[in-house]
Amino acid sequence: MSTPNKTVKSSGRPGRALAILALILVGLSATALLQGATSVRLGLDLRGGTSVTLQPRASNDANKVTSEAIDQAVSIIRQRVNSLGVAESEVTAQGSGTNRQIVISVPGDSGRRVVDLVGQTAELRFRQVLATAIGTAGTGTDAATPVAGVAADINAKFAALDCTNVANLQGTGADAPSETIVACDRTGASKFILAPAEVLGTQVSKAAAGIDTQAGNVWTVSLTFNGDGTKAFAALTNRVTSLASPQNQVAIVLDGLVVSAPSINEAIPSGNAQITGNFSQVEAQDLANVLKYGALPLAFDRGEVQQVSPTLGSDQLEAGLLAGALGMLLVFIFSVIYYRVLGFVTVASLLVAAGMLYLTFLVLGEAIGFTLTLAGIAGAIVAIGVTADSFIVYFERIRDEAREGRSLRSAVESGWVRARHTIIVADMISILAAVLLYFFAVGSVRGFAFTLGLTTLIDLLVVFIFTKPLMTLLAKIEFFSSGHPLSGLSAKSVGTKSPMTRAAATENVEG
Amino acid sequence: MAQLSGLGNRLYSGETSFNIIGNRKRWYSISAVFVLISIGALAIQGLHLGIEFKGGSSYTVNKAGISVEEARAAVEETGIAGELIVQKIGDSKIRIQTGTLTSAESTAVENALVAKFSVAIEDIDTQIVGPSWGKEITKKALYGLIAFLLAVMLFLAMTFEPKMAIAAIVAVVHDVLITVGIYAVVGFDVTPATVIGFLTILGYSLYDTVIVFDKVRENTKSIAASGKSTYSDAANLAVNQTIVRSANTSIIALLPVGSILFVGAGLLGAGTLKDLSLALFIGLAVGTYSSIFIAPPFLAALREKEPAMIALAKRVAARGGAAPVAGEVRAVRPSTGRGPRNQPKRKGRK
């Protein structure tokens, strides 16, 4: 039971609470204005675009998944994506420590190119060709006699390798530079035994796409090596140029696949090389970009790729907003039917909460790059229920107190003291759920958790600085305190034997 | 509605009372049946997992007047192996789902659709999920679930009582089992959005339970001192007093979820909104049930085993057991159950 003392104290400051609310709303609006935020930033699923989630591949060799490696990969991928020149594309790591995914979001319809671009590890190696054969399985043994200096198991692997199987054309990037390897070419037409790498992608200082007019206007990528690279490439070309075919070929290997394997006719000491490989213009430009920004320190699995057309995006946005409006309307109708005029307190509180949420979205969009996704909208709609629940808990408490014979003014205060506890505990659980969902989940789940948590916080705030002070003020109005049949607090709906006015009178006498 | 208010009032005063705690065996049996069916369905049929969990690709073409057969033929011509599901969504959309494809195969499927239906490639909504991705998100969801249950248990044990925490968690596990079971029985698709729904149910179910437990705590605070009623009686009154509140909060929570379901399923046909709201809708209904019929009886059963509560029950029985819970109001509807007033007698006989 609350003491009368408490009652008096907490009812004395509704004006102050409402002033704080006004201050918060004005503050949020002013911040949004200063930031120049005019609309909520929408996620790709609402305006169309591509998002790619990359999962670091756990491997036990040199490419260990470390936090630094992920950070480095993020910055390299960011450079690659930026090279496309699409505005507002984003590259972020989600999760914590080494257990992170890299999420790339690109608005608009250049998604397919992004997908190909970002996933490449782009490990470039120059290796001498030791043997070659057409790409089907079983061709190695009879077509090429075991090559001198190549281990028997490599020869066996070479014979068994089937480059017509698409599984062998995935470009895993898992070739160890110091080993002799077998590899397919990109088209699957031929396969190779390749010597340990002598020049690495890290020794490339520049890469550019261009047209080779001499070779019939084909797109090529020209490379410039750094000092070490120049020396190593000169030594390699010098050594193989006198050898017989196919050992005078140098294979250019990207992510474990041979892009091209030109025959070397003379030593190349200039530090320049050119890759030709039937590239289209886009392919050549993308490859040059990839090589320019360097290889990723990790191999990645493509976790999820999602491409949403602008049409579907706007459909989903429309549906989300419609669902929100409909849900809100239904809650309004229910509140007003059940709680009569008191229901309008719910309506007003929900509108205040919605306004505050909208302003928060605006501010957060600029401040932390918050984007509203479909799952986020769903989270906000679900939170309408949680928010309205708080009001019901409070109203029912007021009725409970009235049933025990209190006046409305007193019931509003003592009911609050009790409802407050329930509301805080219940909202804490909702927030706990949201925070844990946010930290444990990936992708769309995070958007949902974020808005759910945010709206629950706003709910707490609104109940404390709007609904409760409003009730205190309303309790002073004759319409409610007399228990008018439409007030939602009439003797009939509350069920007190005596009208509340009488109870109030009794209490006044006592006081 | 007005009648509901009146009922709320009678329930509050104890004039009308549903014997919920006393009939706990009945609710346990009902739930046990559902839980067993759920476990059975999960074991035999399993869940119908979306491509997000098993890996694969999905392509949605949006163009009026295209048929499932045409789409299937176009995709089959590309010669991709494995599972192929072609569905019509809404009026003008066709969705094609395949197993795991290589980039080349994926491009081939898209090109085939572009050629067949003369749509722009940008207008095909594509989702490609790697085979190991599902394991990753399942693992994360499970970690999240375990962390959530532990955190909530700790939180409730601190704010309420440890036994309330146990009862609340039992109710939550009950809700999730039955909801997942319904998915297994009906064969609804389980997607990450569904999982979000499942996880949110946890929060909701607890919200309802917290409201009831808060009242139980209030009603049972001084029962040992007054010696007028047993823990079960006091808890039963609390449940009755909060029934209208629980009904209202559940209806209010279901209204927005229902409108997402309506709009998501009706206008969009499939996707995040539908999957999420369906899981929530089912879960909310189950959660409301458990917050009234499972959590409080379970809590009462736990508390009644305490020596102090056994002693209290004996004392109440010795007083004649006819201790009215709220005032001297006679039961208006004795037919609605034995009423709280009869409970102590039964307990006393045991």
User: Residues 29 to 68 of B: which have CB under 8 A from any A CB?
Assistant: 52, 60, 62
Separation between Cα atoms, residue A177 and residue A193, nearest integer Å: 13
Which residues of A are less than 8 Å from B10 in CB distance? Answer: 495
Q: Which of A308, A310, A378 shows the shortest C-beta gap to B260?
A: A378
Amino acid at the residue A229: G
Which of A11-15, A277-281, B211-215 shows the lowest mean pLDDT across its residues?
Answer: A11-15
B272 contacts A374? CB cut-off 8 A: yes
Question: Is the bond leading into A246 cis (omega within 30 degrees of zero)?
Answer: yes
Percent of chain B at pLDDT > 70 equals: 89
Whether B119 has its CB under 8 Å from any CB of chain A: the answer is no
Shortest distance between the Cα of B348 and any Cα of chain A, in A, equals 30
Q: Which residue has the higher pLDDT, A445 or A9?
A: A445
What percentage of chain A carries pLDDT values higher than 70?
85
Taking CA atoms, what residue in A is nearest to B147? Answer: A436
**Residue of chain A nearest B152, judged by CA positions:** A429
- The one-letter code for the residue type at A452 is L
Among the listed residues A387, A379, A381, A376, the one whose alpha carbon sits nearest the alpha carbon of residue A353: A387
Decide if B330 touches A, using CB distance below 8 A: no
User: Which candidate from A167, A429, A443 shows the least CB-CB separation from B207?
Assistant: A429
Q: Supply the angle between the helices A374-403 and B272-293 in degrees, to the nearest 10.
A: 30
pLDDT surpasses 90 at B123: no
Judging contacts by C-beta atoms under 8 Å, the chain A residues touching residue B192 are 443-445
The nearest CA of chain A is from the CA of B331 a distance in Å of: 16
B90 reaches A (C-beta below 8 A): no
* CA–CA distance, A341 with A335 (Å, rounded to integer): 9
Nearest CA in chain B to A426: B207
Q: What whole-number distance in Å separates Cα of residue A502 and Cα of residue A407?
A: 8
A283, A417, A425, A435: best to mutate for the B interface, most B CBs within 10 A: A425
Give the contacts of A450 (CB within 8 A, at least 6 positions apart): A370, A376, A379, A434, A438
Measured CA to CA, the distance from residue B55 to residue B128 in angstroms comes to 8
The pLDDT mean for chain B works out to 80
Q: Is any Cβ of chain A less than 8 angstroms from the Cβ of B256? A: yes
E strand or H helix that includes residue A208:
strand A204-212
User: Is B172 an interface residue toward A (CB < 8 Å)?
Assistant: no
CA distance B257 to chain A (A): 6
- How distant is the Cα of B142 from the closest Cα of chain A, in angstroms? 9
Q: Which has more pLDDT, B326 or B214?
A: B214
- Give A351-389 pLDDT, tens digit per residue: 999 999 999 999 998 888 888 888 888 888 888 887 888
Q: How confident is the model at residue A77 (pLDDT cuts 50, 70, 90)?
A: confident
Query: A with B: how many residue pairs have Cβ under 8 Å apart?
Result: 251
Q: How confident is the model at residue A286 (pLDDT cuts 50, 70, 90)?
A: confident
Domains of chain A: 4-43+309-510 (1.20.1640.10), 44-119+303-307 (3.30.70.3400), 124-283 (3.30.1360.200)
Q: What is the pLDDT of residues A145-185, one digit of tens each?
A: 566 667 778 888 888 888 877 667 766 555 677 888 888 88
Residue type, B129: V
Please give the biggest Cα pair distance in chain A: 116
Mean pLDDT of A430-444: 77
Query: Which residue's structure tokens are 């043997």?
Result: A131
Which residues of A are less than 8 Å from B151 in CB distance? 432, 436
Q: What is the pLDDT of residue B335?
A: 40
Across the range A188-201, mean pLDDT stands at 86
Cβ neighbours of A382 in B, within 8 Å: 200, 253, 256-257, 260, 280
How far is CA A332 from its chain centroid? Answer: 34
Supply the DSSP symbol for A131.
Answer: E
The average pLDDT across A23-36 equals 90
Considering only the beta carbons, identify the residue of B9, B102, B128 that sits closest to A495: B9
A492 has pLDDT over 70: no
Q: Per DSSP, what are the bridge partners of residue B336?
A: none
Closest CA to B280 of A384, A428, A463: A384
Residue A495, Cβ density class (10 Å: 0-12 exposed, 13-18 middle, ≥19 buried): buried
Q: Do B210 and A335 touch (CB under 8 A)?
A: no
Distance CA B270, CA B284 (A): 21
CB A125 within 8 A of CB A177: yes
For A429, the closest chain B residue by CA position comes to B203
**Contacts A432 to B, Cβ<8 Å:** 148, 151-152, 155, 203
Q: Any CB–CB contact under 8 A between B199 and chain A?
A: yes
Q: Which of A422, A428, A438, A497 to mutate to test the interface with B (most CBs of B within 10 A)?
A: A422
pLDDT at residue A170, as a whole number: 65
For residue A300, the chain B residue with the least C-alpha distance is B130
Residues of A with Cβ-Cβ distance to B246 under 8 angstroms: none
Three-state SS for A247-311 is CCEEEEEECCEEEECCECCCCCCCCEEEEEEEECHHHHHHHHHHHHHCCCCCCEEEEEEEEECHH
Q: Check the CA dihedral B5-B6-B12-B18 and report its sign.
A: negative
A chain contacts of residue B214, beta-carbon cutoff 8 Å:
421-422, 425
Which tens digit of pLDDT belongs to each residue from A297-343? 777 777 788 888 888 888 888 888 999 999 999 999 998 888 888 88
Domains of chain B in sequence order:
2-47+134-349 (1.20.1640.10), 56-129 (3.30.70.3220)
pLDDT > 70? residue B3: no
What pLDDT is recorded for position A135? Answer: 77
CA distance B132 to B120: 30
Between chains, do A308 and B202 touch, taking CB under 8 Å as contact?
A: no
The residues facing A107 across adjacent strands are A49
Distance from B137 to chain A by nearest Cα, in Å? 7
User: Is there a contact between B156 and B168 (Cβ–Cβ < 8 Å)?
Assistant: yes
Q: Residue A430: exposed, middle, or buried by beta-carbon count in 10 A (0-12, 13-18, 19+)? A: buried
Query: Of A76-85, B129-138, B218-227, which range is least confident?
Result: B129-138
Minimum-distance CB partner of B104 among A166, A338, A418:
A166
A188-197, B36-45, B78-87: the lowest-pLDDT one? B78-87
Q: Could you read off the pLDDT of B295-327 as tens digits, one per residue?
A: 899 999 898 888 888 888 888 888 765 444 443
Long-range CB pairs of A241-249 (<8 Å, 24+ gap) are: A241/A265, A241/A266, A241/A267, A246/A129, A246/A130, A246/A131, A246/A132, A247/A128, A247/A129, A247/A130, A249/A128, A249/A129, A249/A132
CA angle, corner A31, sides to A28 and A32, nearest 5? Answer: 85
